Structure 1
């Protein structure tokens, strides 16, 4: 569903000002990035013969990953190329200091605030099709069940052959025109997903609200998480898990960690499932239950929303010379490290450098080790900022879309009801907002009336109007 505003392409300048997002890069940083863009890539193996392709959202220019999946005997081999920012960023230089201050790319509907200057992030360091690009090239061998058997990573020059978006891959797989490097992605993707459920990994199949330009206005869309998204994510997770294993074996690294949920959170989820009419057998864990739900059902959406309680408290754990007290990510149900998005996330460059050194049998560079203790705080701060900006932009567009419809009624699914208000989800237009009435039936469809759509305050509020139409 697409909804258009009549706002003459109002931008998000106020959001940028409110969160003090930098409008550009300092001159010294831009100069260093230009120099880096022209630097030769010595020491990289030539792997331009690999038939790599990328899968990214439409319009993306900062392409971090390219893959080629092939059969290996009864199993699989995954070639996964990750943009090699370590080739371009000089430790402790102007560029390095700037990106350590930023932490990650911040995305807004009217343009991003990049972690690295575009000459790198959208140019020579991006895995653009036809371009020879330095990469950290992972080779991941899996058995016939999709279980990882061995992993290696080295620096290499690669050249992506084609660029796809998720819908394009889905269409190509269905009509038989998929690139050869993606032909077996569905098979290994499904196997990896099965292994994830067996481990106890929690997958929340919540649709994404997205904002995009449309003529002289903006549109809100609801994008379900498709199979291609899930398979693509499984390859990234496979790589992050392999990286974590390398780090743990070497006794040095930085992991993305999440403690196991408190028992009360699981009990809460069981009570929620019971109130939603969802059968949860006693011998079934949360991962298996959630994986088996139909994301198109209202009660499933409500339970997915409640299941976010299981994934609270994620952070980064640094260790050097010892084993970490917490080494696993409860949502993934395994040790995991961020290494697959270095163009957009600072920590991935350091994780990659650690893995490259370990795999080569070399000492982890001292500048990497020295930086590790500060990274958790840098990433926590940038994560919080990115989440606030994303919410502000969505709230802003929702208010713009609904500002002329105060008093109108809509069908809405109750996602979560707590205290004197509830979170409700409208599919037309695709909006998540507060409903002022408390004690609403989670997972049910009710009729709501829009009482406030304040574009200045970025606030949208509904109240219950009647018993609703009860669509399924």
Structure 2
């Protein structure tokens, strides 16, 4: 699958030398008590956040790890990051975009460490719409490394840490604005490989915690502000998803009505999906059909004329990636564009030189990441079921064609093809395992 191996010695050396002598910006923002919020055990910390009231509104301060001071344009490290594109995550390891001396060390926003960062300061109105945006390089120091389960427990107990005490309030108001933009939020449970202690590796269906969704709103907000900055400045790179065509919407509407989901005349897909009860198998099957709404994702560069289709339809607005530069290549370049446009200075030549090839580099990186993720899950499914061929299982039909469909097992959390005609979407059925081959990563069932 062309997953990169270890870093070459010259790449490691260049990274270590850069890590030993970081340049700190003149702007000192160490008085802001930033905190990071990430999955447990994370060490590649891209973002630190601080939220405060601002009259009847809010001020969001978002410090993003600044990778540019560590990566010399045209150097061996720069070339290697362009080849990799993004960090790949596996159940038991990760293949990083940058050497660990940077991604888990000198560039990571670890608590108590002085770090160069790109500081976004976004003033919001009472409804969390954007009043003003500022972006500049600054030196920051995170005060605490928090994780999602801990923050969720604090939110449930009403004891949120002060720097993010407003996360729920801001997050909910930003989500309300997304509804007004008719954003298409699929919010599907993620099929993940997890370590089950003495049981070894297993499969789980994982929903995002409430605080993960709120935290994501801060990142989306920043990416939207960055995209607006680019569109106003006439230069940049956007992450786009075209609006679904009328045929795709009509097909989804027919499926939704057949599965008991109301679709009023004139309602948009995003508005209908927001009403779906994901705990109801019939209605959750509609979400599976809705994946077709968000096809055609791309990276689009422009210089002068604004792209004919600049929107990310999943978000319902123009959007670009700027909040994960330790883990995703394009963020380093997009951030540099925003810093230059906001300051009214020319975009650096090394950024302009990279723009023609960035969309292709990121498309290939995304393809590789998706293939690796799918292979891990498929292989685990086959491994867990390899000695159970012939057994029957309870499953829910989530999609169906003329001669086969897709089912999700109750236990383990396997999603696979199932042979059979007239499979009842949204219904629970009994299925027999007919194939579970680890080498080909293939699992297949038939309806009993």
TM-score band (shorter)? over 0.9
Give runs of aligned pairs for residues 136-215 of structure 1, distance below 5 A.
136-215=118-197
Residue aligned with 2:436, SS? strand
For the aligned residue pairs, the C-alpha RMSD in angstroms reads 1.3
Deviation at 1:368, TM superposition (A): 0.3
* Matching residue of 1:222: 205
Q: Whole-Å Cα distance in 1 between the matches of residues 24 and 419 of structure 2?
A: 62
Deviation at 1:238, TM superposition (A): 0.3
* 2:391 matches 1:405: no
* Matching residue of 1:333: 316
Deviation at 1:418, TM superposition (A): 2.2
Residue aligned with 1:316, SS? strand
Deviation at 1:233, TM superposition (A): 1.1
Q: Whole-Å Cα distance in 2 between the matches of residues 243 and 26 of structure 1?
A: 34
Deviation at 1:453, TM superposition (A): 1.3
Q: 1:34 to 1:301 in 2, by over 3 A?
A: same
Residue aligned with 1:367, SS? helix
Q: 1:387 to 1:419 in 2, by over 3 A?
A: farther
* Matching residue of 2:374: 391
Residue aligned with 1:78, SS? strand
Q: Whole-Å Cα distance in 2 between the matches of residues 299 and 63 of structure 1?
A: 39
* Matching residue of 1:97: 79
Q: Whole-Å Cα distance in 1 between the matches of residues 211 and 337 of structure 2?
A: 30
Q: Report if the CA contact (8 A) 2:219-2:323 is conserved.
A: yes
* 2:267 matches 1:308: no
Q: Whole-Å Cα distance in 2 between the matches of residues 447 and 67 of structure 1?
A: 48
Deviation at 1:171, TM superposition (A): 0.6
Unaligned runs of 5+ in 1: 1-18, 466-472
* Matching residue of 1:280: 263
Determine which of 240, 247, 261 is the counterpart of 1:264.
247
Deviation at 1:44, TM superposition (A): 3.8
Q: Report if the CA contact (8 A) 1:44-1:134 is conserved.
A: no
Residue aligned with 2:357, SS? helix
Q: Report if the CA contact (8 A) 2:202-2:412 is conserved.
A: no
Q: Whole-Å Cα distance in 2 between the matches of residues 244 and 449 of structure 1?
A: 49
- Structure 1, residues 87-106: CA drift from partner, whole Å, max 9, x if none? 11111111001111111111
- Structure 1, residues 103-136: CA drift from partner, whole Å, max 9, x if none? 1111112211111101111111111122222111
* Matching residue of 2:363: 380
- Structure 1, residues 351-373: CA drift from partner, whole Å, max 9, x if none? 00011111122111011011111
* Matching residue of 2:335: 352
Q: Whole-Å Cα distance in 1 between the matches of residues 121 and 380 of structure 2?
A: 42
- Structure 1, residues 381-405: CA drift from partner, whole Å, max 9, x if none? 1111110010000001111112222
- Structure 1, residues 282-319: CA drift from partner, whole Å, max 9, x if none? 13211111112222111232111111100000101101
Residue aligned with 1:450, SS? strand
* Matching residue of 1:456: 439
Deviation at 1:427, TM superposition (A): 3.0
Residue-pair matches, total: 447
Q: Report if the CA contact (8 A) 1:128-1:160 is conserved.
A: yes
TM-score calculated relative to the size of structure 1: 0.92
- Structure 1, residues 17-66: CA drift from partner, whole Å, max 9, x if none? xx132220111111110011012324341111211111211222211111
Residue aligned with 1:127, SS? coil
Q: Whole-Å Cα distance in 1 between the matches of residues 442 and 119 of structure 2?
A: 46
Q: Whole-Å Cα distance in 2 between the matches of residues 159 and 299 of structure 1?
A: 48
Deviation at 1:215, TM superposition (A): 4.3
* Matching residue of 1:109: 91
- Structure 1, residues 51-89: CA drift from partner, whole Å, max 9, x if none? 111121122221111111111111111111111111111
TM-score calculated relative to the size of structure 2: 0.97
Q: Whole-Å Cα distance in 1 between the matches of residues 114 and 361 of structure 2?
A: 32
Q: Whole-Å Cα distance in 2 between the matches of residues 438 and 170 of structure 1?
A: 44
* Matching residue of 1:4: none
Unaligned runs of 5+ in 2: none
Q: Report if the CA contact (8 A) 1:74-1:144 is conserved.
A: yes
Deviation at 1:443, TM superposition (A): 1.4
Determine which of 367, 370, 373 is the counterpart of 2:350.
367
Residue aligned with 1:373, SS? coil
* Matching residue of 2:63: 81
Determine which of 15, 24, 27 is the counterpart of 1:33.
15
Q: 1:161 to 1:340 in 2, by over 3 A?
A: same
Q: Whole-Å Cα distance in 1 between the matches of residues 144 and 402 of structure 2?
A: 51
Q: Whole-Å Cα distance in 2 between the matches of residues 284 and 324 of structure 1?
A: 27
